[in-house]
A = this chain, B = another copy of it.
Amino acid sequence: MIQKAATIHDVARSANVSTATVSRVLTHPERVAEPTRTMVRDAIRRTGYRVNQAARNLRLQRANAVLVLVPNLGKPFYSEILAGISEGFSGSDYAVLILDTERNPVTERTLADNFLNNRIDGAIVLDGGLPRAALTACRAMGAQTRVVFLCEWVEGERFPVLASDNADGARQAVRHLNALGHTKIAHITGPEGNVLTAARREGMVTERTRLSCAARADWILRGDFSLKSGHEAAQKILAMDERPTAVFCSADMVAFGLIAGLHAGGLRVPDDISVIGFDDIEMSEFYVPALTTIRQDRLRLGRRAATLLRAALENGTAPGDEPPVPVELVVRASTAPPNTRSPRHG
Protein backbone atom coordinates (compact mmCIF):
# COMPACT_ATOMS: atom_id res chain seq x y z
CA MET A 1 0.00 0.00 0.00
CA ILE A 2 1.26 3.40 -0.89
CA GLN A 3 -0.32 5.17 2.04
CA LYS A 4 -1.27 3.31 5.14
CA ALA A 5 -4.96 2.63 5.35
CA ALA A 6 -6.91 4.70 7.86
CA THR A 7 -7.67 3.00 11.17
CA ILE A 8 -10.40 3.57 13.64
CA HIS A 9 -8.01 5.84 15.51
CA ASP A 10 -7.61 8.12 12.54
CA VAL A 11 -11.35 8.41 12.30
CA ALA A 12 -11.66 9.06 16.02
CA ARG A 13 -9.06 11.79 15.87
CA SER A 14 -10.63 13.35 12.81
CA ALA A 15 -14.06 13.37 14.42
CA ASN A 16 -12.80 14.34 17.86
CA VAL A 17 -14.31 11.39 19.60
CA SER A 18 -12.99 8.18 21.08
CA THR A 19 -12.49 4.99 19.15
CA ALA A 20 -15.26 3.43 21.16
CA THR A 21 -17.70 5.89 19.71
CA VAL A 22 -16.56 5.25 16.18
CA SER A 23 -16.90 1.56 16.73
CA ARG A 24 -20.39 2.09 18.07
CA VAL A 25 -21.42 4.15 15.09
CA LEU A 26 -20.33 1.24 12.95
CA THR A 27 -22.06 -1.56 14.79
CA HIS A 28 -24.78 -0.04 17.02
CA PRO A 29 -25.60 3.34 15.53
CA GLU A 30 -28.68 3.73 17.73
CA ARG A 31 -26.47 3.94 20.81
CA VAL A 32 -24.87 7.20 19.81
CA ALA A 33 -26.44 10.62 19.62
CA GLU A 34 -27.45 11.86 16.24
CA PRO A 35 -25.02 14.81 15.96
CA THR A 36 -22.06 12.67 16.96
CA ARG A 37 -23.15 10.01 14.56
CA THR A 38 -23.07 12.33 11.58
CA MET A 39 -19.73 13.77 12.65
CA VAL A 40 -18.29 10.30 12.79
CA ARG A 41 -19.83 9.34 9.49
CA ASP A 42 -18.30 12.40 7.90
CA ALA A 43 -14.95 11.54 9.37
CA ILE A 44 -15.25 8.04 7.98
CA ARG A 45 -15.92 9.43 4.57
CA ARG A 46 -13.08 11.93 4.83
CA THR A 47 -10.53 9.35 5.85
CA GLY A 48 -11.76 6.60 3.54
CA TYR A 49 -11.82 4.31 6.52
CA ARG A 50 -12.67 0.61 6.12
CA VAL A 51 -12.82 -1.75 9.04
CA ASN A 52 -9.98 -4.19 9.25
CA GLN A 53 -11.49 -7.63 9.12
CA ALA A 54 -8.54 -9.35 10.70
CA ALA A 55 -8.74 -7.13 13.76
CA ARG A 56 -12.47 -7.48 14.04
CA ASN A 57 -12.32 -11.21 13.59
CA LEU A 58 -9.66 -11.53 16.22
CA ARG A 59 -11.65 -9.49 18.68
CA LEU A 60 -14.92 -11.24 17.94
CA GLN A 61 -13.41 -14.69 17.73
CA ARG A 62 -14.83 -15.52 14.38
CA ALA A 63 -13.73 -15.72 10.79
CA ASN A 64 -16.57 -14.31 8.81
CA ALA A 65 -16.05 -17.00 6.28
CA VAL A 66 -17.42 -20.35 5.30
CA LEU A 67 -15.74 -23.16 3.48
CA VAL A 68 -17.21 -25.18 0.66
CA LEU A 69 -15.67 -28.57 0.08
CA VAL A 70 -16.39 -29.66 -3.44
CA PRO A 71 -15.18 -32.90 -5.05
CA ASN A 72 -14.41 -31.44 -8.43
CA LEU A 73 -14.84 -27.80 -9.26
CA GLY A 74 -14.61 -28.50 -12.94
CA LYS A 75 -17.81 -30.51 -13.18
CA PRO A 76 -20.83 -28.47 -14.28
CA PHE A 77 -22.99 -30.27 -11.75
CA TYR A 78 -21.03 -28.88 -8.85
CA SER A 79 -20.29 -25.52 -10.28
CA GLU A 80 -23.94 -24.69 -10.61
CA ILE A 81 -24.48 -25.63 -6.99
CA LEU A 82 -21.61 -23.36 -6.11
CA ALA A 83 -23.28 -20.57 -7.97
CA GLY A 84 -26.33 -21.12 -5.79
CA ILE A 85 -24.23 -21.09 -2.65
CA SER A 86 -22.49 -17.94 -3.73
CA GLU A 87 -25.85 -16.37 -4.36
CA GLY A 88 -27.09 -17.54 -0.99
CA PHE A 89 -24.26 -15.77 0.76
CA SER A 90 -24.58 -12.66 -1.31
CA GLY A 91 -25.17 -9.67 0.90
CA SER A 92 -24.09 -11.46 4.05
CA ASP A 93 -20.46 -10.37 4.21
CA TYR A 94 -19.41 -13.92 4.79
CA ALA A 95 -16.54 -14.78 2.52
CA VAL A 96 -16.96 -18.02 0.61
CA LEU A 97 -13.86 -20.18 0.50
CA ILE A 98 -13.77 -23.02 -1.94
CA LEU A 99 -11.62 -26.09 -1.80
CA ASP A 100 -11.50 -28.69 -4.54
CA THR A 101 -11.04 -31.93 -2.66
CA GLU A 102 -9.79 -33.75 -5.71
CA ARG A 103 -7.02 -31.31 -6.40
CA ASN A 104 -6.12 -30.41 -2.85
CA PRO A 105 -4.98 -32.89 -0.29
CA VAL A 106 -7.78 -33.30 2.24
CA THR A 107 -6.91 -35.12 5.42
CA GLU A 108 -8.83 -35.79 8.59
CA ARG A 109 -7.47 -32.52 9.87
CA THR A 110 -8.41 -30.21 7.03
CA LEU A 111 -11.86 -29.36 8.22
CA ALA A 112 -11.17 -29.21 11.94
CA ASP A 113 -8.02 -27.20 11.38
CA ASN A 114 -9.86 -24.59 9.45
CA PHE A 115 -12.21 -24.19 12.35
CA LEU A 116 -9.49 -24.15 14.98
CA ASN A 117 -7.42 -21.82 12.88
CA ASN A 118 -10.19 -19.37 13.08
CA ARG A 119 -10.36 -19.39 9.35
CA ILE A 120 -13.97 -20.40 8.95
CA ASP A 121 -17.16 -20.25 10.94
CA GLY A 122 -18.96 -22.95 9.05
CA ALA A 123 -18.76 -25.34 6.15
CA ILE A 124 -20.83 -26.81 3.37
CA VAL A 125 -19.63 -30.22 2.34
CA LEU A 126 -20.44 -31.59 -1.10
CA ASP A 127 -18.15 -34.53 -0.71
CA GLY A 128 -19.52 -37.69 0.83
CA GLY A 129 -16.09 -39.24 0.64
CA LEU A 130 -14.74 -37.21 3.52
CA PRO A 131 -12.71 -39.28 5.98
CA ARG A 132 -14.90 -40.16 8.91
CA ALA A 133 -12.20 -39.03 11.31
CA ALA A 134 -12.55 -35.52 9.94
CA LEU A 135 -16.11 -35.47 11.21
CA THR A 136 -15.19 -36.93 14.56
CA ALA A 137 -12.66 -34.15 14.96
CA CYS A 138 -15.30 -31.57 14.11
CA ARG A 139 -17.73 -32.97 16.59
CA ALA A 140 -15.03 -33.09 19.24
CA MET A 141 -14.66 -29.35 18.97
CA GLY A 142 -18.36 -28.66 18.89
CA ALA A 143 -18.45 -27.67 15.26
CA GLN A 144 -21.16 -30.14 14.33
CA THR A 145 -23.74 -27.37 14.39
CA ARG A 146 -21.84 -25.46 11.78
CA VAL A 147 -21.43 -28.05 9.07
CA VAL A 148 -24.06 -28.96 6.54
CA PHE A 149 -23.82 -31.65 3.94
CA LEU A 150 -25.22 -30.92 0.54
CA CYS A 151 -26.25 -33.50 -2.05
CA GLU A 152 -23.95 -36.10 -0.58
CA TRP A 153 -23.43 -37.25 3.00
CA VAL A 154 -21.50 -39.71 5.07
CA GLU A 155 -23.53 -42.77 5.95
CA GLY A 156 -24.22 -43.14 9.63
CA GLU A 157 -23.08 -39.66 10.68
CA ARG A 158 -25.65 -37.39 12.20
CA PHE A 159 -24.78 -34.18 10.48
CA PRO A 160 -27.49 -32.10 8.84
CA VAL A 161 -28.00 -33.08 5.22
CA LEU A 162 -29.75 -31.36 2.37
CA ALA A 163 -30.16 -33.66 -0.59
CA SER A 164 -32.45 -34.55 -3.44
CA ASP A 165 -34.76 -37.50 -3.22
CA ASN A 166 -32.46 -39.75 -5.19
CA ALA A 167 -34.40 -42.94 -4.69
CA ASP A 168 -37.56 -41.29 -5.93
CA GLY A 169 -35.72 -39.89 -8.92
CA ALA A 170 -34.61 -43.37 -9.85
CA ARG A 171 -38.16 -44.63 -9.39
CA GLN A 172 -39.54 -41.94 -11.64
CA ALA A 173 -37.00 -42.73 -14.30
CA VAL A 174 -37.81 -46.42 -14.34
CA ARG A 175 -41.52 -45.75 -14.23
CA HIS A 176 -41.25 -43.41 -17.19
CA LEU A 177 -39.37 -45.96 -19.25
CA ASN A 178 -41.78 -48.69 -18.29
CA ALA A 179 -44.75 -46.53 -19.16
CA LEU A 180 -43.26 -46.17 -22.64
CA GLY A 181 -43.24 -49.93 -22.86
CA HIS A 182 -39.69 -50.78 -21.82
CA THR A 183 -39.08 -53.86 -19.77
CA LYS A 184 -35.41 -54.37 -20.52
CA ILE A 185 -33.84 -51.53 -18.58
CA ALA A 186 -30.17 -51.12 -17.79
CA HIS A 187 -28.47 -48.78 -15.35
CA ILE A 188 -25.09 -47.12 -15.35
CA THR A 189 -24.16 -46.49 -11.75
CA GLY A 190 -21.97 -43.89 -10.10
CA PRO A 191 -18.64 -44.77 -8.52
CA GLU A 192 -18.69 -47.58 -5.99
CA GLY A 193 -18.85 -46.40 -2.39
CA ASN A 194 -20.70 -43.22 -3.25
CA VAL A 195 -23.93 -42.65 -1.35
CA LEU A 196 -25.71 -41.36 -4.43
CA THR A 197 -24.70 -44.41 -6.38
CA ALA A 198 -26.30 -46.58 -3.75
CA ALA A 199 -29.49 -44.55 -3.43
CA ARG A 200 -30.10 -44.39 -7.16
CA ARG A 201 -29.17 -47.96 -7.86
CA GLU A 202 -31.43 -49.25 -5.13
CA GLY A 203 -34.31 -47.03 -6.17
CA MET A 204 -33.89 -48.26 -9.70
CA VAL A 205 -33.64 -51.94 -8.85
CA THR A 206 -36.58 -51.81 -6.47
CA GLU A 207 -38.85 -50.18 -8.98
CA ARG A 208 -37.73 -52.45 -11.76
CA THR A 209 -38.62 -55.44 -9.62
CA ARG A 210 -41.92 -53.91 -8.59
CA LEU A 211 -42.81 -53.54 -12.25
CA SER A 212 -41.64 -57.10 -12.88
CA CYS A 213 -39.15 -56.06 -15.50
CA ALA A 214 -36.35 -58.26 -16.67
CA ALA A 215 -33.16 -57.99 -14.65
CA ARG A 216 -29.84 -59.26 -15.87
CA ALA A 217 -26.75 -58.76 -13.79
CA ASP A 218 -24.80 -57.28 -16.69
CA TRP A 219 -27.43 -54.62 -17.12
CA ILE A 220 -26.04 -52.90 -14.08
CA LEU A 221 -22.92 -51.23 -15.41
CA ARG A 222 -20.35 -49.57 -13.25
CA GLY A 223 -19.75 -45.88 -14.03
CA ASP A 224 -18.45 -42.85 -12.20
CA PHE A 225 -20.66 -39.92 -13.21
CA SER A 226 -18.24 -39.01 -16.01
CA LEU A 227 -18.62 -38.66 -19.76
CA LYS A 228 -15.95 -41.22 -20.26
CA SER A 229 -17.64 -43.84 -18.14
CA GLY A 230 -20.78 -43.43 -20.22
CA HIS A 231 -18.79 -43.81 -23.36
CA GLU A 232 -17.20 -46.98 -22.08
CA ALA A 233 -20.54 -48.38 -21.02
CA ALA A 234 -21.69 -47.92 -24.60
CA GLN A 235 -19.05 -50.37 -25.79
CA LYS A 236 -20.22 -52.93 -23.29
CA ILE A 237 -23.84 -52.48 -24.29
CA LEU A 238 -23.04 -52.72 -27.98
CA ALA A 239 -21.30 -56.00 -27.32
CA MET A 240 -24.14 -57.59 -25.34
CA ASP A 241 -25.92 -60.52 -26.86
CA GLU A 242 -29.12 -59.39 -25.21
CA ARG A 243 -29.30 -55.64 -25.17
CA PRO A 244 -31.52 -53.56 -22.95
CA THR A 245 -33.95 -51.29 -24.76
CA ALA A 246 -33.45 -48.44 -22.35
CA VAL A 247 -30.71 -47.17 -20.08
CA PHE A 248 -31.07 -45.12 -16.93
CA CYS A 249 -27.85 -43.18 -16.31
CA SER A 250 -26.82 -41.97 -12.89
CA ALA A 251 -25.87 -38.58 -14.31
CA ASP A 252 -26.49 -36.52 -17.43
CA MET A 253 -22.82 -36.50 -18.25
CA VAL A 254 -22.86 -40.28 -18.29
CA ALA A 255 -25.86 -40.17 -20.61
CA PHE A 256 -24.02 -37.91 -23.04
CA GLY A 257 -21.02 -40.18 -23.11
CA LEU A 258 -23.29 -43.12 -23.58
CA ILE A 259 -25.26 -41.61 -26.43
CA ALA A 260 -22.08 -40.55 -28.19
CA GLY A 261 -20.72 -44.06 -27.80
CA LEU A 262 -23.90 -45.76 -28.95
CA HIS A 263 -24.13 -43.45 -31.88
CA ALA A 264 -20.58 -44.24 -32.92
CA GLY A 265 -21.54 -47.90 -32.74
CA GLY A 266 -24.49 -47.38 -35.05
CA LEU A 267 -27.34 -47.31 -32.54
CA ARG A 268 -29.77 -44.40 -32.69
CA VAL A 269 -31.23 -42.74 -29.62
CA PRO A 270 -34.14 -42.97 -29.02
CA ASP A 271 -35.03 -45.03 -32.11
CA ASP A 272 -32.95 -48.05 -31.20
CA ILE A 273 -32.49 -47.45 -27.51
CA SER A 274 -33.84 -44.96 -24.99
CA VAL A 275 -31.61 -43.06 -22.59
CA ILE A 276 -32.55 -41.13 -19.50
CA GLY A 277 -30.19 -39.12 -17.34
CA PHE A 278 -30.10 -37.58 -13.89
CA ASP A 279 -29.47 -33.95 -12.90
CA ASP A 280 -30.74 -31.94 -15.84
CA ILE A 281 -27.66 -29.86 -16.37
CA GLU A 282 -27.97 -26.94 -18.71
CA MET A 283 -26.60 -28.86 -21.69
CA SER A 284 -29.28 -31.51 -21.52
CA GLU A 285 -31.87 -29.38 -23.21
CA PHE A 286 -29.57 -28.72 -26.12
CA TYR A 287 -28.03 -32.09 -26.66
CA VAL A 288 -29.03 -33.99 -29.77
CA PRO A 289 -31.33 -35.63 -28.96
CA ALA A 290 -32.48 -33.44 -26.10
CA LEU A 291 -32.08 -35.51 -22.98
CA THR A 292 -34.94 -36.87 -20.92
CA THR A 293 -33.76 -36.64 -17.35
CA ILE A 294 -34.51 -36.23 -13.65
CA ARG A 295 -34.18 -32.63 -12.69
CA GLN A 296 -32.41 -31.48 -9.54
CA ASP A 297 -32.63 -27.75 -9.00
CA ARG A 298 -28.99 -27.19 -8.21
CA LEU A 299 -29.15 -23.45 -7.96
CA ARG A 300 -31.86 -23.77 -5.39
CA LEU A 301 -30.11 -26.54 -3.51
CA GLY A 302 -27.05 -24.33 -3.20
CA ARG A 303 -29.04 -21.31 -2.11
CA ARG A 304 -30.94 -23.39 0.38
CA ALA A 305 -27.82 -24.84 1.94
CA ALA A 306 -26.37 -21.37 2.25
CA THR A 307 -29.50 -20.12 3.97
CA LEU A 308 -29.48 -23.07 6.32
CA LEU A 309 -25.88 -22.50 7.30
CA ARG A 310 -26.34 -18.78 7.71
CA ALA A 311 -29.24 -19.35 10.04
CA ALA A 312 -27.28 -21.89 12.01
CA LEU A 313 -24.35 -19.51 12.40
CA GLU A 314 -26.55 -16.64 13.44
CA ASN A 315 -28.59 -18.58 15.96
CA GLY A 316 -25.82 -20.85 17.07
CA THR A 317 -28.20 -23.76 16.71
CA ALA A 318 -27.78 -26.79 14.49
CA PRO A 319 -29.94 -26.85 11.36
CA GLY A 320 -32.81 -29.25 11.78
CA ASP A 321 -33.26 -32.36 9.67
CA GLU A 322 -34.20 -31.48 6.15
CA PRO A 323 -36.67 -33.57 4.16
CA PRO A 324 -35.39 -34.89 0.83
CA VAL A 325 -35.80 -32.30 -1.91
CA PRO A 326 -38.25 -33.43 -4.59
CA VAL A 327 -36.92 -34.09 -8.06
CA GLU A 328 -38.81 -33.84 -11.29
CA LEU A 329 -38.99 -35.90 -14.44
CA VAL A 330 -38.29 -33.85 -17.55
CA VAL A 331 -39.35 -35.61 -20.69
CA ARG A 332 -37.46 -34.68 -23.85
CA ALA A 333 -36.39 -36.53 -26.95
CA SER A 334 -34.02 -39.24 -25.79
CA THR A 335 -36.72 -41.63 -24.66
CA ALA A 336 -39.37 -43.26 -26.82
CA PRO A 337 -41.30 -46.52 -26.99
CA PRO A 338 -39.06 -49.50 -27.72
CA ASN A 339 -38.49 -50.33 -31.34
CA THR A 340 -40.38 -53.57 -31.94
CA ARG A 341 -38.60 -54.35 -35.17
CA SER A 342 -35.16 -53.81 -33.71
CA PRO A 343 -32.35 -54.33 -36.23
CA ARG A 344 -30.75 -57.07 -34.20
CA HIS A 345 -33.22 -58.39 -31.71
CA GLY A 346 -36.72 -58.47 -33.13
Contacts and interface: CB of A to CB of B under 8 A. Distances in A.
A227 B82 contact: no
B116 A104 contact: no
Nearest to A63: B54
Nearest to A101: B86
Contacts of A36: none
Contacts of A260: 286-288, 290
A2 B141 CA distance: 6
A57 interface: yes
A272 to B, nearest CB: 14
Contacts of A256: 283, 286-287
B86 A100 contact: yes
A73 B65 contact: no
Interface string A23-56: 0000000000000000000000000101111110
Which of A2, A259, A283 has the most CB atoms of chain B within a 10 A radius of its CB? Answer: A283
Interface in A231-256: 231, 256
Nearest to A119: B53
State which size class the interface on A falls in. Answer: 35 or more
Nearest to A141: B1
A65 B95 contact: yes
The residue among A83, A97, A260, A290 with the most chain B CB atoms within 10 A of its own CB is A83
Contacts of A72: 83
Nearest to A80: B74
A17 interface: no
A285 interface: yes
Contact of A54 (B48, B58, B100, B103): B58
A320 interface: no
A263 to B, nearest CB: 5
Nearest to A4: B61
A13 interface: no
A103 to B, nearest CB: 4
B103 A227 contact: no
Contact of A104 (B48, B74, B86): B86
A83 B87 contact: no
Contacts of A1: 141-143
A76 B287 CA distance: 15
Contact of A82 (B3, B55, B79): B79
Contacts of A3: 141-142
Contacts of A91: 104-105
Interface string A186-216: 0000000000000000000000000000000
B73 A86 contact: yes
A87 B58 contact: no
Nearest to A76: B76
A141 B95 CA distance: 22
Contact of A74 (B51, B79, B90, B97): B79
A63 to B, nearest CB: 7
29 contacts: A1-B143, A2-B142, A3-B141, A5-B116, A50-B116, A52-B118, A54-B118, A58-B58, A74-B299, A79-B79, A83-B103, A86-B98, A86-B99, A86-B100, A87-B103, A90-B103, A91-B105, A95-B95, A95-B97, A95-B119, A96-B98, A96-B99, A227-B283, A227-B286, A256-B286, A256-B287, A257-B286, A260-B288, A287-B288
